[in-house]
């Protein structure tokens, strides 16, 4: 089955205000880079233009009153009560095109889910998705409509067991809330500790309720988290949960705001973790629907997401021996295909290790004590 890249010119038409750090043109830049590198060519790859989400689809999650408010704001009408819905804030400014863009972004993720359900794709990437902070009745964190929730709902309504893994630097508060009492969608989030970063949620004790108890899992990360220790969290914390849950489909949010130097966050990772996580997920043999998310150093984000596509297409596993030799080190992507997209390896300082390692060991221990037993995972 094909690897499908989701994009359309409609997604390039609606920029956020210039003063906003969220840049919608990143996805188009990713497509341009992939095209220039020949990474969209091949019989096993396809580009699909999304279908815009209509009101009926959006109302499967969002309230009519909230949608009415966004549409009015989209048309240039601002009312004070919209502030109570998170509209008109620094993170979620009101501008013409906000509803149009968000409807296309939701449509792109749902289109990807439908490609998987129809059996036309095993791998899908929508770099214009990942709006995980939107709730049913309010906006937050640059997110107006929640494409992730609606994509997961589309899969779950078709009877699929869905695993949502979010490795964006911010906690997926909107997605977690949507499925907090459900067991047909498990949410796992690795993110910077909510005590040091928006949205201030995503602690280990947030494990779900009712039928959903144990199906919301959080790994808060300390400032300065680096590749080696992060991949330990993935291998020892995340992978056992995926094995135990045994999903039919994996939905992955792969925000590039975890990278060292991102202006809005404080982790110290390279884009090598993006490829490494994907390679581990591919081993499960499940369809993967991937969405973008954050990433506020645009050049780094574009390179990371080009690497994400390369890894999703299986073109990184053969090149892992060359990791760290391309990308930033050679200051070019014209090297060994997708391998040249990788960052150079960053060596953590001794003081960084002394701070980060004990913190994450405790987080792993807490998850093992509180969540692993619910799923029958035996501790070694």
- Per domain, the residue ranges of the chain are 2-375
Q: Give the pLDDT confidence score for residue 379 in this predicted structure.
A: 75
Per the CB < 8 A criterion, the answer to whether 327 and 303 are in contact is yes
Question: Burial of 4 by CB count in 10 Å (0-12 exposed, 13-18 middle, 19+ buried)?
Answer: buried
309-321 residue pLDDT tens = 999 999 865 444 3
Provide the mean pLDDT of the chain: 94
Give the sign of the dihedral formed by CA 334, CA 317, CA 311, CA 116: positive
Give the sign of the dihedral formed by CA 260, CA 265, CA 267, CA 273: negative
pLDDT at 304 over 70: yes
Those residues whose C-beta lies under 8 Å from the C-beta of residue 80, and which sit 6 or more positions away, are: none
Task: Quote the distance between the C-alpha of residue 320 and its chain's center.
Answer: 23
d(CA 142, CA 130): 10
Band (50; pLDDT cuts 50, 70, 90): very high
Give the sign of the dihedral formed by CA 173, CA 177, CA 180, CA 186: negative
List 7, 62, 133, 191, catalytic entry? 133
244-275 residue pLDDT tens = 999 999 999 999 999 999 999 999 999 999 99
- In the residue annotation, 133 being an active-site residue is answered as yes
Q: pTM for the complete prediction?
A: 0.94
Q: Give the pLDDT confidence score for residue 324 in this predicted structure.
A: 41
CB contact burial 137-159 (16+ within 10 A = b; e otherwise): bbbbbbbbbbbbbbbbbbbbeee
Instruction: Assess if CATH 3.40.800.20 describes domain 2-375.
Output: yes
CB contact burial 21-37 (16+ within 10 A = b; e otherwise): ebbbbbbbbbbebbeeb
Q: How does DSSP classify residue 235?
A: I
β-strand partners of 249: 162
pLDDT at 326 over 60: no
* Mean predicted confidence (pLDDT) in 174-203: 98
């Amino acid at each position: 089955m094909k690897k499908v890249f989701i994009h359309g010119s409609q997604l390039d038409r609606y920029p956020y205000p210039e003063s906003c750090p969220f840049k919608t043109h990143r996805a188009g830049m990713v497509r341009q880079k992939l095209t220039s590198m020949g990474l969209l060519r091949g019989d096993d790859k396809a580009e699909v233009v999304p279908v815009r989400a209509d009101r009926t689809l959006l109302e499967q999650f969002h309230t009519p009153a909230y949608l009415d408010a966004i549409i009015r704001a989209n048309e240039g009408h601002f009312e004070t009560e919209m502030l109570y819905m998170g509209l008109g804030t620094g993170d979620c400014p009101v501008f013409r095109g906000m509803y149009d863009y968000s409807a296309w972004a939701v449509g792109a993720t749902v289109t990807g889910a439908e490609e998987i359900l129809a059996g036309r794709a095993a791998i899908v990437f929508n770099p214009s998705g990942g709006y995980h902070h939107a709730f049913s009745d309010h906006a937050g964190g640059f997110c107006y409509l929640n494409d992730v929730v609606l994509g997961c709902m589309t899969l779950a309504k078709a009877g699929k067991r869905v695993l949502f893994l979010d490795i964006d630097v911010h906690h997926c508060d909107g997605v977690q809330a949507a499925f907090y009492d459900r067991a047909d969608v498990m949410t796992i989030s690795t993110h910077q500790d909510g005590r040091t970063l928006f949205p201030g949620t995503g602690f280990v004790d947030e494990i779900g309720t009712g039928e959903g108890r144990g199906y919301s899992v959080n790994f808060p990360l300390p400032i300065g988290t680096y590749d080696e220790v992060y991949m330990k969290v993935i291998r020892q914390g995340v992978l056992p949960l995926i094995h135990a849950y045994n999903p039919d489909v994996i939905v992955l949010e792969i925000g590039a705001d975890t990278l060292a130097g991102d202006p809005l966050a404080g982790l110290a990772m390279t884009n090598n973790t993006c490829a490494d996580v994907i390679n581990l997920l591919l081993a499960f043999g499940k369809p993967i629907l991937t969405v973008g998310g954050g990433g506020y150093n645009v050049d780094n984000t574009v390179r990371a997401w080009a690497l994400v596509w390369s890894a999703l297409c299986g073109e990184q596993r053969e090149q892992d021996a060359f990791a760290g030799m391309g990308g930033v080190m050679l200051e070019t992507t014209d090297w060994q295909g997708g391998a040249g997209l990788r960052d150079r390896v960053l060596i953590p300082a001794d003081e960084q290790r002394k701070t980060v390692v004990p913190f994450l060991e405790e987080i792993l221990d807490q998850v093992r004590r509180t969540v692993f037993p619910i799923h029958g995972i035996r501790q070694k």
